[in-house]
Amino acid sequence: MYHRIISLLPAATEIVCALGLEDNLVGRSHECDFPASVKRLPVCSEANIPDGLSSIGIDKKVKELLSDALSIYTVNREKIKELAPDMVITQAQCEVCAVSLEDVENALKGYLDKQSRIISLQPNSLDDIFNDILNIASASGVAGRGEKLVEDLQERVDIIRHKLKFIDNKPTVACIEWLEPLMISGNWVPELVSIAGGGPILAEAGKHSPFVQWADIQQQDPDIILVMPCGFSIERTMKEMHLLLGQPGFADLKAVKNNRLYIADGNQYFNRPGPRIVDSIEILAEIINPKQFIFGYEGDGWIKFSL
C-alpha cells in the first residue's frame, strides 16, 4: 500500500478523499480545493499564467507557452522531495487542466531519495473515470472501497437512465467550455448530456473539445445553452457573459427566446473527472428535464441566466 500520496490533479484529490484516504495525502496541486480540508496540505505546483487574465488572454498565454515548449505549470521538486511520497498522481489527458505526466517525470527523474510510483490518469469517458477510481483504490490497497464507491456512483447514474427510459424528446444542448475563442465541451461531457436526456451538439463523446465558430452554434440553434467554462466558477463566468451576449443574432436563438440559457460551475463539476462527475449528470438532468428531476444544485451548481 502507498501510504504517502501527492495529488497534482483536483479530480484525483477528490478520488483519494472519497476512498477514505485523505490522511494519506501529504501534498496537493495549487488547484486542489475540494474537500475544503485539503487546503491545509503543502502545495507542490504553481501556474505560469498570471491571475486576472480574460478568456482570450488565458488562451493566448497558454498557446504562447506551449509554442515555446514551456510548461503551463511548474512542479516544486524540492517540496515533493521533502514530502517523500510513495505515490504521485497526475494526468496525461490535457496539458491545460493539470500538471502533466511529462512535467512530473522530468522533475522527479532520479531526484527522489526513494522509488515513487507515478500514476497518470487519462479519462475520456464516464467508464474511464470509474476505472481511474478503481485503479487508484487498487494501487492504494483499498480495492474494495473503490468497488463500493463506483457501485454507488453507477447506481445514481442508473436512476437517471431508468427515469428517462421512455422519454423520447431529447432537446439539443450546446455546452460551451470556453467563451473566447468559442469551444464546445468534448471528452465525457457529450456522454453526460445524453445520459441526462439531451442531445449534445458540435462535439463527439470521447474526443477532445473542439473550437467552433459562432455561426456553427447559430446554425444548430440549440434548445438549451449551458455555459460552463473550464476552471471558471459561476461568478467568474458572469463577468464574461458579454462575450456571448454580444454575438450577432444571439437574442434570436431558440434557447434564448425560450429562457433556456444557463450557467454552471465548470470548475467544481464538469471539468473534474472524479466522483462529482455524477453530480454533473444530476445537474444536467435538472436543467434538461426539470419536471423529472430536482436534486437541489440550482443556485450553487447552476443558475438560469436571464437577459
The overall average pLDDT reported for the chain is 89
Question: What is the mean predicted confidence (pLDDT) over 294-306?
Answer: 95
Whether residues 96 and 185 share a domain: the answer is no
The total of structural domains in the chain comes to 2
- Asked if residue 71 is part of any domain, the answer here is yes
pLDDT at 94: 55
**Contact between 44 and 83 (Cβ < 8 Å):** yes
Read off the pLDDT of residues 54-73 as tens digits, 9 standing for 90 and up: 888 877 777 765 655 556 67
Share of the chain above pLDDT 90, in %: 67
What's the half-sphere exposure (Cβ side, CA atoms, 13 Å) at 110?
0
Helix (H) or strand (E) holding 278: helix 277-288
Whether residues 169 and 300 share a domain: the answer is yes
Q: Is the pLDDT assigned to residue 154 strictly greater than 90?
A: yes
* Least confident range of 36-45, 80-89, 252-261, 289-298: 80-89
Read off the pLDDT of residues 63-107 as tens digits, 9 standing for 90 and up: 765 655 556 677 888 898 889 898 889 876 555 555 555 666 666
Last residue of a domain, one of 92, 122, 152: 122
Answer whether 0.85 is exceeded by the pTM: yes
- Asked if residue 56 is part of any domain, the answer here is yes
Q: Say how far apart CA 168 and CA 302 lie, in whole Å.
A: 25
**Contact between 21 and 139 (Cβ < 8 Å):** no
Whether residues 169 and 271 share a domain: the answer is yes
DSSP type of residue 181: T
Q: Is the pLDDT assigned to residue 251 strictly greater than 80?
A: yes
pLDDT at 53: 79
Confidence of residue 273 (pLDDT cuts 50, 70, 90): very high
Q: Please report the beta strands in 81-190, taking only residues with DSSP state E, as ranges in sequence order.
A: 87-91, 117-121, 172-179, 182-184
- Asked if residue 222 is part of any domain, the answer here is yes
Confidence of residue 1 (pLDDT cuts 50, 70, 90): low
Residue 97 zone, left/alpha/beta (φ > 0; ψ -120 to 50; rest): alpha
- Phi and psi of 82, rounded to 5°? -60, -35
Whether residues 208 and 292 share a domain: the answer is yes
pLDDT at 113: 59
Whole domain around residue 182: which residue ranges?
Answer: 165-304
**Contact between 274 and 15 (Cβ < 8 Å):** yes
Q: Is the pLDDT assigned to residue 42 strictly greater than 90?
A: yes
Read off the pLDDT of residues 189-237 as tens digits, 9 standing for 90 and up: 999 999 999 999 999 998 988 999 999 999 999 999 999 998 899 999 9
Read off the pLDDT of residues 9-21 as tens digits, 9 standing for 90 and up: 899 999 999 999 9
Whether residues 294 and 188 share a domain: the answer is yes
pLDDT at 177: 95
